[in-house]
Amino acid sequence: MEIFDIFLLEAIVNGVLLGGILALLALGLNLIFGVIDVVWICYAELIMIGMYAVFYLHVEYAWPLWAAFPVCVAVVSALGMVLHHFVIRPVLTAEPINQLLVTGGVLFLLQGVATLAFGVEFRNVGVRLPTFEVGGMFLSLARLTAFLIALASMIGVYLFLKRTYLGTAIRAISQDRTIMPLMGVNPSRIFLITSALGGALAGVAACLLVLQYDIHPAIGLSFGPIAFLVCVLGGLGNMIGGFLAAFIFAQFISVGGYFFHLEWGYVLAFLFFIAFMFWRPQGLLGGKS
């Protein structure tokens, strides 16, 4: 029996492509946690709303996708700002766990609103990118595109944080919240901008996921938990750690799913996560405590 068979390789490559998307999800969450110190449990639900935005613009109003995508990013970004202003800001000084739970309330709220507005039927944008063959492996163009755009967005965010004045202010606030106001940085403004940026990343993820998956109000639950675990695995708030963790997690899901069933891939990934937590509770690359 050949140890290096082509289907295993295909699973690995697919895992890498999946890793790109997971890394994008983790980046948005990590950015928000790193700066504002809040985990948005409802992050995947923001993505769900973004996916519906694309669906409605493209299918109902016949907008071309290239026009629908920027609107989707803008909508989710605005949603992030609304979430921060009305939900997170009032509990900024409350117990940390209440901050986590209040976004859990938003999770139900968004799911309910989506069910009310869009119904429980599965929706589909009707765009299916073809698969192509590389050296005997069949890869999906949608996944490859998603991987590349996710990578580009991450580089974009990295450059923004490192090269711009605003990015520097965001990084400074994330390091010391009490000192920076004395240096003339307005934390509430930075928080709002960070929320908008985190929302925009969710919007980008929505545009990429809508090409691969059907939309329904509970879709957030199918990738939301994974996104949190990726963040924790990498070290909450640590963006590089989240990036690495996304690829590790994706390999577990993809290769585990290749050897067993897809669900067993998830089970393996989650069990690995729990075991890893006991070995390095602070995550792959340290992270904030």
**Residues interacting with another protein, by CB under 8 A?**
39, 87, 90-91, 94-98, 100-102, 104-116, 119-120, 217, 221, 224-225, 228-229, 232, 236, 260-261, 263-264, 266-267, 270-271, 273-274, 277-278, 281
Shortest Cβ 243–another protein spacing (Å): 18
Shortest Cβ 264–another protein spacing (Å): 5
Task: Give the residue with the Cβ less far from another protein, 102 or 197.
Answer: 102
Q: Both tokens of residue 100? A: 């986590």
Task: Give the residue with the Cβ less far from another protein, 53 or 211.
Answer: 53
Task: Give the residue with the Cβ less far from another protein, 69 or 228.
Answer: 228
Shortest Cβ 21–another protein spacing (Å): 18
Task: Give the residue with the Cβ less far from another protein, 102 or 209.
Answer: 102
Alpha helices (H) along 56-140: 65-83, 96-118
Angle subtended at Cα 171 by Cα 27 and Cα 100, rounded to the nearest 5 degrees: 55
Shortest Cβ 29–another protein spacing (Å): 11
Shortest Cβ 111–another protein spacing (Å): 6
Residue whose tokens read 């329904």: 216
- What stretch of H or E contains 271? helix 262-279
Own/partner contacts of 84-93, CB < 8 Å, gap of 24 or more, are 84/36, 84/191, 84/192, 84/195, 85/192, 88/36, 88/38, 88/191, 88/195, 89/188, 89/191, 92/36, 92/38
Asked if residues 124 and 214 have their Cβ atoms less than 8 Å apart, the reply is yes
Task: Give the residue with the Cβ less far from another protein, 153 or 195.
Answer: 195
Task: Give the residue with the Cβ less far from another protein, 2 or 95.
Answer: 95
Shortest Cβ 190–another protein spacing (Å): 21
Shortest Cβ 148–another protein spacing (Å): 29
Task: Give the residue with the Cβ less far from another protein, 60 or 95.
Answer: 95
Residue 212 C-beta-side C-alpha neighbours within 13 Å: 20
Alpha helices (H) along 37-64: 43-55
Shortest Cβ 104–another protein spacing (Å): 5
Task: Give the residue with the Cβ less far from another protein, 96 or 156.
Answer: 96
Separation CA 134–CA 115 (nearest Å): 41
E strands present in the chain: 131-134, 137-140
Q: Both tokens of residue 87? A: 């939900």
Own/partner contacts of 264-270, CB < 8 Å, gap of 24 or more, are 266/226, 269/226, 269/229, 270/229
Q: Which residues of 85-104 are buried (b: 16+ CB within 10 A; e: fewer)?
A: eebbeebeeeeeeebeebbe
